[in-house]
Structure 1
Amino acid sequence: MTAILEALYHGKLKSNMNIVPSHPEYRSAYRQVTAELHQWRERLGEEVFRELEEYLDLCDSVNSMHVEAAFHHGFKLGANLLIEVMSNRETP
């Protein structure tokens, strides 16, 4: 536990940068997204594609905010669960 607290204190704990989904279809879907993005670039041309990229960046920002809120909620829920379990602990 001390190692995690030290890493957090020193700004070394950046778990969001190390997350790679383990879902079996992730890499295949990611490759498909990349391939389709290249196709859209060719179809739309640079200027219109740049507008599409701005829209997609906005969607990514909204999604990131949602994921962050879900993380906070899940962490608080887990912490509250531990508090409840430990405060209602029965002695053998």
Structure 2
Amino acid sequence: MQNVLESLYYGDLAPHEKSASQSPEYRLLNEQITESLNHWKKKLVEEDFNELEALTDLYHQIQGMDMASSFTTGFKLGATMMIEVLSGINPPVPQQDT
């Protein structure tokens, strides 16, 4: 069995692929989004719906960037806590990227 560093190196570790919430509320909201998009697809002419889809694609790109930033910030904070706990040294707290 590979350790975490080997799994990361070989591409077997992909946290972003497992980040979907298991909350029932998440599923419900996702279903509502799908229903709403289907409603707008029927209501709008194809060109207008394509523009709406392009807008949602842009939103998903931003959301992905936010998730990546949150992951790296959380990882840095966790690593800093481990340094502090294991060494007794108080390293500077990592700053959030803006």
**TM-score (ref. length: structure 1):** 0.86
Q: Which has the higher helix share?
A: 1
| Structure 1 pair 20–59 and aligned structure 2 pair: CA distance change class (3 A) | closer
1:6 maps onto 2:16 in alignment: no
Aligned-partner residue type, residue 59 of structure 1: Y
1 or 2 for the larger relative contact order (CA 8 Å, sep ≥6)? 2
In the alignment, what sits opposite 2:69? 69
1:40 maps onto 2:57 in alignment: no
State the 1:22 CA deviation: 1.8
More displaced stretch, 36-45 vs 22-31: 22-31
Pairs aligned (count): 89
Separation in structure 1 between the aligned mates of residue 73 and residue 15 of structure 2, nearest angstrom: 16
- Where do 4+ consecutive residues of structure 1 move more than 4 Å? none
RMSD: 1.8
Structure 1 residues 57-88: Cα deviation after superposition (integer angstroms, max 9, x where no partner) = 11111111111111110100010011011111
Separation in structure 1 between the aligned mates of residue 2 and residue 10 of structure 2, nearest angstrom: 12
User: What secondary structure is seen at the aligned counterpart in 1 of 2:21?
Assistant: coil
| Structure 1 pair 53–19 and aligned structure 2 pair: CA distance change class (3 A) | same
Separation in structure 1 between the aligned mates of residue 77 and residue 48 of structure 2, nearest angstrom: 43
State the 1:38 CA deviation: 0.3
State the 1:44 CA deviation: 0.9
